Structure 1
Amino acid sequence: MIRLLIVDDSPLMRRLLSTVFAAEGDFELAFARNGTEALGQLAAFRPDVITLDIQMPEMDGLTCLNHIMLEHPCPVVMVSSLTTEGADATLEAMSLGAVDFITKPKRAVSLEIETLAPVLVAKVRAASRARLPRTLRLADRVRLRSGLDVKPSPALQKPLRPVQTARRSRKVDAPVRNLILVGTSTGGPPALDALLTRLPPDFPWPLVVAQHMPGSFTGPLARRLDKLCALSVVEVTRPMPLEAGTVYIGKGDADVIVSMRLDGPVVMAAPSLPEHRWHPSVDRLVDSAMQHFSPGGLIGVLMTGMGSDGAQTMTRLREQGGRTIAEAEESAVVWGMPGELVRRGGAEVVTPLEQIADHLLDMVRRS
């Protein structure tokens, strides 16, 4: 049985979620109306996974999450609104240690629960098997157990202050001939933090990222990463020329593809295709890039995420002479996508998250 603690101040939401998970037959459920009640149940119920609403009275979701990760680390799936404020709060939650999130429907949740239920169950099941990094908030946990004061998490201090980094000036040279393709899903935002903040401002290749995420979230994600990284990070909302040292985040609820124009390659958003389950689709991104770039000029990076998106096309990329990197199981929150790439024999390099940037730099230098 999977022990699930549902934390939400809405009686309707608690009732609907109870119906969804009780119907699965392998969930043991407990409920809390706010963060204070949730913290009171951690030691007794010992949940395998928690769904946690962000907006709640008495103690909001972010404050509760901060306590959970310090006192009883446990996989948490945030429940968020589709607003910009909801997206910013969710990204803060991911930086605090949440492994995934679900979004509330725009219409009444009771009208859309049947559509939401399969995705919700899949995310919670994946989260129950997720690996929380052993070093997650380790210093704070040691201080807490030693009776020392714990500094507030940076994610709870507003506004997010940008890291001051020197960025090189941009100029349009010859069209780029090399490209890095990054795919990720569950656990992806913190993984992107770890990867991109390790790349220097003079990194010579562009990077295109397909992160499974709703359309209202990818803009805030790009802005957050742009503040943290030495590279420029932008959301792809229109056709954009590919430039060295720029990271392009595919817009959610659509696909991101590479195309060619007279003056060189561009990256652009494209309506999602039904044959791909998750969007932006990693498989579609890689396939489009292979139509316009030599395989030897492409590097595919597949990081944490449930499912298998990207594994098929990155395996084909390697077979045709491209290079590929899969995140190792030891660091992946969910080793679905990169694990499938490894099982198919499509991973040239299998490495922990913190070493992916070094491998990229080495591959680029040798090109």
Structure 2
Amino acid sequence: MKEKIKVLIVDDSFLMRRLLRDILEEDPDIEVVGTARDGKEALKLLRNLEVDVITLDYEMPDMNGIEVLEKIMKYKPVPCIMVSAYTKEGAKITLEALSRGAFDFVPKPSGELSLDIIKIKDELIDKIKSAKKVRMERIKFEYEEIETLPCRGSLNISCVGIASSTGGTVLIEYIIKNLPSNLGIPFFIVQHMPPLFTLKFAERLNEITGKKVKETEDKEEVKKDIFYIAKGGVHVILEKKGKNVYISHKDFPARNGVKPSADYLFESMAEIYGEKACAIILTGMGRDGVDGAKKIKEKGGYVWVQSKETCLIFGMPRNAIKEKIVDMVLSPEEIVKNLAKI
């Protein structure tokens, strides 16, 4: 008999704890082994319970979700999925939690008290099942600091696109922070997040990396030395008008189950930049970015993926490797060092 995934629910609302228990236990592979109304109770339960995954609210009495997360990561590391309010404050705290070691997050559809929590049932269950498979040593939120690297000009690249999903926010922060500020090209980053979260992600990166980072805007002209975070809830493509390149938001259906999809971005990069385009595929489930990277490869461009040893989830890089389109398999540190050759 297959062993069930043991889940601990931490939320200060009795109703939310009950609703989460009900939707999770509808799945035959999941068993809710405990619920806690605050951080202190959660930490006490962890001493005696065998737990595979924790769902963690961020707004609780005594200790907030970040404080609880830090104690869990220090004393008894267990993959934590933040169940966050779909608000500016919720997005900000969720991004902080991801930087402190949270596995992933799911936004509550209607704020802190979401009676329609069933809307996120499938997403939450999928992420719980993915979290169970992860080795805790791969939930890494600190990487080797790199001294400021000079631009070498040995790679003929005019545009870089990055596809990233679960486990990628810390990597994106690391890459941007450690790159030279004068590479002279634009960077486009698709991090799978809903609207508002992508805005807060861009604002956070702009504040802490020392680089110009912003969320994409429809019809804006592309400028060099800017890191563009693809806006959540729309697809981002590039369009050339005369000598200039512009960003365009498209309300197409989700592709690969995500919106934005890196495939649309990469395909448009292939058309505009051709052999001077570079696609980088980081950690994440599924195959987003693979078909678009294939187009870049067909045009003579570059395709790099993150190494299995450093990925939280090796799904997207693995699928690119299977297509035999990958030029280099790199650690985060190696990605930075190779980008500095532009």
TM-score w.r.t. the length of structure 1 is 0.83
Question: Could you tell me how far 1:346 is from its partner in structure 2?
Answer: 2.1
Partner Cα separation in structure 2 for residue 301 and residue 243 of structure 1: 20
Judge conservation of contact 1:69–1:137 (CA < 8 Å) in 2: no
Partner Cα separation in structure 2 for residue 57 and residue 289 of structure 1: 48
Question: Could you tell me how far 1:137 is from its partner in structure 2?
Answer: 7.3
Judge conservation of contact 2:58–2:93 (CA < 8 Å) in 1: yes
Partner Cα separation in structure 2 for residue 235 and residue 132 of structure 1: 31
**Which residue of structure 2 aligns with residue 267 of structure 1?**
247
**Which residue of structure 1 aligns with residue 151 of structure 2?**
none
Matching residue's letter, 1:12: L
Q: How does 1:319-338 map to 2 (within 5 A)?
A: 319-338=298-317
Partner Cα separation in structure 1 for residue 141 and residue 268 of structure 2: 39
Unaligned runs of 5+ in 1: 139-164, 166-175
Judge conservation of contact 2:57–2:65 (CA < 8 Å) in 1: yes
Partner Cα separation in structure 2 for residue 222 and residue 341 of structure 1: 26
Judge conservation of contact 1:200–1:231 (CA < 8 Å) in 2: no
Closer/same/farther in 2, CA of residues 42 and 253 from structure 1, 3 Å limit: same
Closer/same/farther in 2, CA of residues 236 and 117 from structure 1, 3 Å limit: same
Paired positions, count: 325
Matching residue's letter, 2:8: L
Deviates more, 1:256-265 or 1:212-221: 256-265
Judge conservation of contact 2:217–2:247 (CA < 8 Å) in 1: no
Q: How does 1:1-367 map to 2 (within 5 A)?
A: 1-29=4-32, 30-106=34-110, 109-113=114-118, 115-133=119-137, 136=140, 178-294=158-274, 296-362=275-341, 364=342
Question: Could you tell me how far 1:134 is from its partner in structure 2?
Answer: 5.9
Residue by residue over 1:278-333, the C-alpha shift from the partner in whole angstroms, topping out at 9 and shown as x without a partner, is 02101111112222222x11000011111111112213322431111111111111
Partner Cα separation in structure 2 for residue 116 and residue 242 of structure 1: 35
Partner Cα separation in structure 2 for residue 350 and residue 246 of structure 1: 25
Secondary structure of 2:309's aligned partner: coil
Give the percent of matched residue pairs that are identical in Structure 1 and Structure 2.
33
Question: Could you tell me how far 1:123 is from its partner in structure 2?
Answer: 1.4
Residue by residue over 1:130-182, the C-alpha shift from the partner in whole angstroms, topping out at 9 and shown as x without a partner, is 344469479xxxxxxxxxxxxxxxxxxxxxxxxxx9xxxxxxxxxx9821010
TM-score w.r.t. the length of structure 2 is 0.89
Judge conservation of contact 1:81–1:104 (CA < 8 Å) in 2: yes
Question: Could you tell me how far 1:361 is from its partner in structure 2?
Answer: 2.2
Residue by residue over 1:208-257, the C-alpha shift from the partner in whole angstroms, topping out at 9 and shown as x without a partner, is 01111011111111111112224311111232222221100111111111
Root-mean-square deviation (Å): 2.1
Partner Cα separation in structure 2 for residue 250 and residue 351 of structure 1: 23
